[in-house]
Amino acid sequence: MAVLGIILIILTLLLVVVGALAWTKRLPGNGVIGIHVPEVRTSREMWNAAHAVAGPVWLVAGLAMGVGALLAFAAEGWMWLLVVAAVVASVALVGIGASLGAKTVAIIDANRKITDAQSAQQPSSAPQAAQPQVDVDKLRSAMRQSQNPGEA
């Protein structure tokens, strides 16, 4: 079953490279690899935020796939269950990472909408009242006179 081991090694390398690029915010926006939720694709900032969260989980998925690949070269009998378990764990981790990334972007998007709504409710274009000019020396002089009415 060397063919299966080689396929799993290729998938391991793919997951590790994509996970590292995502974690370091260097994964280019594309239509093939990455999280394809509409909110993630709205801007480069959202793309990077989602993939920065998903990247570490995808690296762990790559490691799980690598363990499965190594076991595939030596597996006999019941040891194939370990290979299957490693592959299933890897696929589950890829899904968990994508879910966490999408949820992160949904939270960021919701916070932006709340902030925009709050700023729309506060009229920022209302004219500001002119601030009175205060002469500090005259204020001190008036204070001294009020404390000592006999001195002038």
Q: pLDDT tens digits, residue range 126-147?
A: 556 667 777 888 878 887 888 7
In a domain, 152, yes or no: no
In a domain, 142, yes or no: no
The phi, psi pair for 135, rounded to 5°, reads -95, 105
pLDDT at 85: 97
List the domain range (segments joined by +) for residue 106: 2-121
In a domain, 145, yes or no: no
pLDDT at 151: 61
pLDDT at 148: 78
pTM for the full predicted model:
0.76
Q: Please tell me the total count of domains within the chain.
A: 1
In a domain, 141, yes or no: no
In angstroms, what CA-CA distances link 40 with 20, 29, 43, 139?
18, 10, 7, 59
The parts of the chain modelled with pLDDT lower than 50 are none
CA atoms within 13 Å, Cβ hemisphere of 99: 6
In a domain, 130, yes or no: no
In a domain, 138, yes or no: no
117: which residues sit within 8 A by CB, 6+ positions away?
none
In a domain, 63, yes or no: yes
